[in-house]
Amino acid sequence: MTFFRFDICQFCNIRINKIIKGWDEFDEHIAMIDIFEANIDKLTKSMNQHNPPFIILAAVEYILFKKYEVQKLIFWVLFAPIRALITIP
């Protein structure tokens, strides 16, 4: 499972695109679930442009983030642009 903060975050979308482009490199038995803190309608609209070969869920009211003890740390939100630049091929 991968947790993303915002469905409209350009850096999150870059990471989704990177996963999709490299999807054929994963074992055929792999399962991936990406979870966004997002409204389901907005998430559906933004993810339709990607057409991912894996499951994407909306964590309404942060429920799944809390269940799996994913913390909101402002540092990681601020670090996202730098991380995206490092991981872009």
More confident residue, 41 or 71: 41
Q: What pTM did the predictor assign?
A: 0.68
Alpha-carbon 40 to chain mean position: 14
Fill in the DSSP letter of residue 25. G
Q: What is the pLDDT of residues 20-57, one digit of tens each?
A: 999 999 888 888 888 888 888 888 888 888 889 988 88
Binned at pLDDT 50, 70 and 90, residue 70 comes out as: confident
Distance between CA 26 and CA 52 in Å, rounded? 14
Residue 9: pLDDT over 70: yes
Residue 75 to residues 10, 79, 81, 83: CA-CA distances in angstroms? 17, 6, 11, 12
